């Protein structure tokens, strides 16, 4: 739209950067990424998984960025499995 050319950009980087705070996350964390997602998102998923204590990462075979639309049955199984493991 060009709005940002004539207005001050309200976006501000978080301080400290979020990526440096991942090791402090204590919530159960499930990282889901499609096997065919873009390399940058694969890298992000790996970094989040490795940085958050106890995080669980799953790769959806044959899916890209929209894994929940490309393989809904498998995504549901994975998410429900993760959530089911939290009970009890």
Q: Minimum mean pLDDT among 8-17, 21-30, 35-44: which range?
A: 8-17
Kindly report whether the global pTM for this prediction surpasses the value 0.85: no
Q: Does residue 21 have a pLDDT over 80?
A: yes
By residue count, the chain amounts to 88
The single-letter DSSP state of residue 52 is S
């Amino acid at each position: 739209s060009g709005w940002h050319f004539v207005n001050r950009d309200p976006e501000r980087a978080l301080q400290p950067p979020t990526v440096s705070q991942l090791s402090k996350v204590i919530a159960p964390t499930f990282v889901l990424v499609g096997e065919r997602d873009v390399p940058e998102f694969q890298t992000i998923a790996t970094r989040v998984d490795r940085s958050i204590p106890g995080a669980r990462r799953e790769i959806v075979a044959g899916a890209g960025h929209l894994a929940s639309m490309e393989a809904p049955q498998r995504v549901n199984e994975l998410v429900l499995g993760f959530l089911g493991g939290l009970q009890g």
